[in-house]
């Protein structure tokens, strides 16, 4: 009975996750093409129109499609496996959201693939794409709002049925992420709905690029935490379980999630550090917030490493570092957790440079930035998506994983490939290579020092593509297996000191949502309002 219920509950998360990984495979292939083009080794494929078409598609898919669908799928499965109650609004509502997002994705993808939207995932007005691209992107976001609503409401229903009982940490984190995504997506949604769509359709003649970029910056930083929080949920609730230990602290996990929620939202203006139209004072305010957001990440690092130490010692590890050796590194979740933390450490260090009010000019818009976010997002975050998929797959599909060895090899290759790709990118940025170029005809006196790093970059890209293929093969072969195993239950780590009662502030979001509202108005109110108070000159659309 329960197995049949799990089978019917699993279809919606599975559909979401398959869309995520199918589009991921496509975008991974584009990534391979881009490093090949950019390496300068293959003059025949240096077709600039194709290159920028590919870069735009790669960015939109990896940043918006892979993430949104994966997180929706993971969220639906966490909701049903941790709360064990039916989804608020029913599965049909979930399917409706899925179809809206999928339709929007298809619309945007057709425009991207046919070269009618080669304007990067950051939209970059006054470059103009076909209106269907913006409309498709809007549908993708609107569909995900259905998911946000279902996460929040399902948690509320569960709380009413279980008064005084702490919400399971996995669902608490997932709901925080739904709230985070809803609020952060309001910035880009306003830009798309009130500026880009009417402007691209010709209903309004000009666009205020300063306002558009400010609204986009509202979304641009917190969206990174929307992508990252699922990885943190895995750090807190899945890695300790897979390692055979316990979560070090439930309370501090919640505190870090709440700090991420509050601090990550009003700091997007560090993406505008070198934009003229916001004064240095506002950039300073957002710089302070940006450094505050480092705190929950540092706390998370402690909690995860402490939880892993508990597991290592339970397995007989002794001494200061002996517990590391004692850990079960042949478990994909444990391995991914370790590799992810390593990449987070290196990438976080680079992030401090970008976040710095004064140092950013040395690296802004250089390849350093591309290196930074590939390390933090494609490395730290996406490697956890892989591990989450491997972890959920038996409970989602009712079939055992096709090959654990292949999974381990895939994670190692992703880690190694990502380092070979991104470390040279950091150096290229420092010696002056701009991001988002193909093979530019600059004078050789400036580009000669780039060459060894370009070869490394290409090598990293090939390894990553191979790793992406292993992921898809493993998940697909598992799913297609005839023999069904007994469907295992999705298991979450228990806290070392389980709390029977949780302070109200750590068990809900009402108060925090109000704090965010005030903080957002304080940090984005005037910077947005100023465009309506001064005389601005709009810009007409330009084709690429």
- Catalytic site positions: 221, 225, 372-374, 435-436
Q: Which of 44, 163, 203, 445 binds other proteins (CB under 8 A)?
A: 445
C-beta closer to other proteins: residue 271 or 374: 271
CB 132 within 8 A of CB 110: yes
Q: Which is nearer to other proteins, 84 or 302 (CB)?
A: 302
Q: Does 133 bind other proteins (CB under 8 A)?
A: no
Name the one range near other proteins by CB under 8 A: 171-179, 183-191, 514-522, 530-538.
530-538
Omega cis (within 30) before 145: no
Which of 177, 197, 156, 200 has the alpha carbon at shortest distance from 72?
A: 177
* Residue 269 beta carbon to other proteins: minimum distance, rounded to whole angstroms: 10
Closest CA relative to residue 236, chosen from 253, 258, 251, 252: 253
Binding residue for other proteins, selected from 106, 201, 361, 518, defined by CB under 8 A: 361
43 binds other proteins (CB under 8 A): no
CB 492 within 8 A of CB 83: no
Of 494 and 530, nearer to other proteins (C-beta) is 530
Residue pair 370/323 in contact by the 8 Å Cβ criterion = no
From 306, 341, 409, 515, residue interacting with other proteins (rule: CB under 8 A): 306
The answer to the question of residue 287 lying near other proteins (CB under 8 A) is yes
Residue whose CB is less far from other proteins, 408 or 437: 437
- Structure tokens belonging to residue 395: 């409970």
Using the rule CB under 8 A, is 441 a contact of other proteins?
Answer: yes
Query: What is the DSSP secondary-structure string of 505-521?
Result: GGT--HHHHHHHHHHHH
Handedness of CA 204, 207, 213, 214 (dihedral sign): negative
Query: Which of 365, 459, 494, 507 is close enough to bind other proteins by CB under 8 A?
Result: 365
Closest CA to 459 of 16, 29, 36: 36
Residue 349: count other Cβ atoms within 10 Å of its Cβ: 11
Residue 88 vs 218, nearer CB to other proteins: 218
**Which one, 210 or 347, has the nearer CB to other proteins?**
210
Name 304's Cβ contacts closer than 8 Å, sequence gap at least 6.
235, 236, 239, 240, 337, 341
Task: Take residue 32 and report the two structure tokens written for it.
Answer: 């391979």
Q: Does 113 bind other proteins (CB under 8 A)?
A: no
Which one, 241 or 364, has the nearer CB to other proteins? 364
Tokens of 447: 């580009």
- Interface positions, 148-167, toward other proteins (CB under 8 A): none
Helix 382-397 to helix 332-355 angle, to the nearest 10 degrees? Answer: 150
Near other proteins by CB under 8 A, which window of 62-70, 239-247, 325-333, 361-369? Answer: 361-369
| Integer Cα distance of 471 and 31 in angstroms | 16
Binder of other proteins out of 45, 106, 201, 274 (CB under 8 A): 274
**Three-state secondary structure string covering 148-194:** HHHHHHHHHHHHHHCCCCCCCHHHHHHHHHHHHHHHHHHHHHHHHHH
For residues 159 and 97, the answer to whether their CB atoms sit within 8 Å is: no
Rounded CA separation 218/249 (Å): 32
Contacts of other proteins in 51-70 (CB under 8 A)? 52
Contact between 204 and other proteins by CB under 8 A: the answer reads no
Site string for other proteins, 398-437 (x = CB under 8 A): --------------------------------xxx-xxxx
Instruction: Select from 106, 162, 284, 525 the one that contacts other proteins (CB under 8 A).
Output: 284
Report if residue 320 touches other proteins, rule: CB under 8 A.
no
Which of 105, 208, 348, 425 is close enough to bind other proteins by CB under 8 A?
Answer: 208
Residues 212-241 that bind other proteins (CB under 8 A): 213
Q: Is 248 in the site for other proteins (CB under 8 A)?
A: yes
Phi-psi region of 245 (alpha: psi -120 to 50; beta: other; left: phi over 0): beta
Radius of gyration of the chain measured on its C-alpha atoms: 23
Tokens found for residue 409: 């090899």
Does 497 participate in binding other proteins (rule CB under 8 A)?
Answer: yes
Residues 463-492 that bind other proteins (CB under 8 A): none
Residue 181 or 216: the one with the smaller Cβ distance to other proteins is 216
508 binds other proteins (CB under 8 A): no
Provide the 10 A C-beta neighbour count for residue 177.
26
- Only segment of 81-89, 372-380, 415-423, 499-507 that touches other proteins (CB under 8 A): 499-507
Q: Would you count residue 37 as binding other proteins (CB under 8 A)?
A: no
């Amino acid at each position: 009975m329960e197995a049949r219920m799990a089978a019917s509950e699993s279809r919606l998360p599975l559909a979401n996750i398959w869309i995520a990984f199918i589009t991921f495979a496509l975008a991974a292939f584009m990534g391979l093409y881009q490093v090949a083009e950019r390496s300068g080794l293959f003059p025949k494929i240096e077709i600039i129109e194709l290159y920028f078409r590919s870069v735009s598609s790669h960015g939109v898919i990896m940043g918006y499609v892979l993430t949104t669908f994966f997180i929706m799928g993971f969220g639906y499965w966490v909701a049903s496996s941790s709360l064990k109650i039916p989804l608020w609004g029913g599965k049909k509502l979930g399917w409706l959201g899925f179809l809206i997002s999928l339709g929007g994705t298809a619309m945007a993808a057709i425009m991207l693939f046919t070269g009618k939207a080669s304007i990067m995932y950051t939209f970059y007005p006054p470059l103009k794409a076909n209106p269907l691209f913006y409309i498709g992107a809007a549908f993708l976001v609107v569909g995900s709002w259905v998911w946000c609503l279902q996460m929040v409401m399902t948690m509320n229903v569960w709380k009413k049925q279980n008064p005084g009982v702490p919400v399971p940490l996995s669902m608490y984190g997932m709901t925080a992420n739904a709230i985070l995504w809803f609020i952060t997506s309001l910035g880009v949604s306003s830009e798309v709905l009130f500026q880009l769509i009417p402007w691209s359709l010709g209903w309004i003649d000009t666009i205020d690029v300063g306002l558009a970029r400010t609204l986009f910056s509202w979304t641009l930083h917190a969206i990174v935490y929307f992508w990252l929080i699922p990885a943190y949920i895995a750090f807190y609730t899945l890695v300790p379980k897979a390692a055979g230990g316990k979560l070090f602290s439930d309370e501090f996990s919640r505190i870090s999630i709440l700090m991420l929620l509050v601090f990550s939202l009003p700091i997007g203006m560090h993406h505008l550090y070198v934009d003229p139209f916001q004064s240095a004072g506002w950039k300073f305010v957002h710089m302070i917030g940006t450094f505050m957001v480092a705190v929950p990440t540092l706390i998370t690092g402690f909690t995860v490493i402490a939880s892993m130490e508990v597991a290592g010692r339970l397995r007989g590890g002794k001494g200061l570092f002996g517990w590391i050796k004692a850990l079960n590194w042949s478990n994909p979740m444990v391995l991914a957790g370790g590799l992810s933390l390593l990449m987070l450490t290196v990438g976080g260090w680079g992030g401090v440079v970008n976040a710095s009010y004064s140092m950013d000019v040395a690296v802004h818009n250089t390849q350093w930035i591309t290196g930074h976010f590939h390390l933090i997002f494609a490395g730290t975050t996406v490697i956890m998506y892989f591990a989450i998929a491997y972890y959920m797959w038996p409970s989602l599909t009712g079939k055992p994983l096709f090959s654990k060895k292949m999974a381990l090899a895939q994670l190692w290759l992703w880690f190694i490939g990502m380092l070979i790709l991104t470390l040279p990118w950091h150096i290229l940025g420092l010696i002056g290579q701009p991001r988002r170029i193909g093979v530019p005809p600059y004078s050789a006196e400036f580009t000669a020092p780039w060459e060894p790093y370009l070869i490394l970059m290409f090598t990293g890209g090939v390894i990553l593509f191979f790793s992406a293929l292993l992921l898809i093969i493993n998940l697909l072969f598992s799913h297609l297996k005839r023999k069904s195993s007994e469907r295992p239950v999705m298991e979450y780590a228990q806290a070392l000191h389980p709390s029977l009662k949780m302070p109200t502030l750590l068990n809900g979001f009402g108060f925090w949502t109000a704090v965010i509202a005030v903080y957002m108005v304080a940090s984005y109110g005037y910077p947005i309002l100023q465009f309506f108070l001064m005389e601005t000159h709009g810009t007409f659309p330009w084709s690429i």
